[in-house]
A and B are shown apart, each in its own frame.
Chain A
Amino acid sequence: MSDMESLDKKVVDELYGLMGEDYLSVYEAFERSSNNSMQELEIAIEQKDAIKIETNSHTLKGSSANIGANKFSALCKIIMDAARNNENIDYALHYNNARQEYASVINAIKSLRQSNH
């Protein structure tokens, strides 16, 4: 799978249509905020802190959906729902799945920056 498949082209095009070249600022904001949330999510999972797991996965789910990172958003939703409902899932495994997809999203954003849309 190419990295660009991690971003929904329809969403990317819509943001470009709305904002022109400034659309990259949305992706840059995602890179900044998501990096912090991913670190906090990892710590929360290590500490089995359900509230922080839910808060951070909720933030990641929402912001990634806005930039068209639909698969990553769906993986965060699995973690968020489990934490919210006190489900006993393998959080570390789900986090690793999300982490893998997150890396693809970040690479896709790098490609966007280089492609001039």
Chain B
Amino acid sequence: MTGGKIISDLSVLVVEDNEVNQKVTAAMLQHFGITPDIAENGQVAIDLAAQRQYDLILMDCQMPVKNGFETTTFIRSQNTAHESGEFKTSSEVIIIAMTANASPADVEVCMECGMNDFIAKPVELEIITEILNKWFA
């Protein structure tokens, strides 16, 4: 549980441009009773995060329009807008990078732009389980 929420009540946003990856990640979250929202790029993610308070964002890094690093930096900068109610998602939301390149240098870039953690792609159920337990159990 987190903040009184059980895992199935978490509001989750999956930011991923590839339809196959969207479906697989969503199916894994649905295993826990979570029906995520899906954003196909970073700009759509920002628009959704402005309208709804998310507990967790799973963020692809390489995407068209706005990549995961830029998107995370933007969400982290929305402190004032969140406090005034203009941006519903907290600037302290848990953001997990989904990256195929999990080298130390890539992980450092994820952390530098404000992501909390990372998971290597392809995403596996075991990894999603670990992440949910690590951050929300």
Residues of A that sit less than 8 Å from B by CB: 14-15, 18-19, 23, 25-26, 29-30, 32-33, 58-59, 61-63, 65-67
**A18 B23 Cβ-Cβ under 8 A:** no
Alpha-carbon distance A26/B85, docked complex (angstroms): 37
Contacts A18-B28, A18-B30, A19-B27 given; indicate if A62 touches B21 (C-beta within 8 A). yes
Give the complex CA separation of A58 and B123 in angstroms: 15
Q: Is B24 an interface residue (CB 8 A)?
A: yes
Chain A residue nearest to B98 (CB atoms) is A62
Tally inter-chain residue pairs, CB-CB below 8 A. 49
B19 near A29: Cβ-Cβ < 8 Å: yes
* Pairwise interchain contact A66-B20, C-beta atoms closer than 8 A: yes
B interface residues with partner A (beta carbon < 8 Å):
18-21, 23-24, 27-28, 30-31, 62, 100, 121-125
Candidates A14, A29, A62, A65; contact of B23 at CB < 8 Å? A29
**Bound complex: CA A32 to CA B18 (Å):** 11
A residues less than 8 Å from B30 (CB atoms): 18
18 contacts between A and B (CB under 8 A): A18-B30, A18-B31, A18-B125, A25-B23, A26-B23, A30-B20, A32-B19, A59-B18, A61-B100, A62-B18, A62-B20, A62-B100, A62-B121, A63-B20, A63-B21, A66-B20, A66-B122, A67-B24
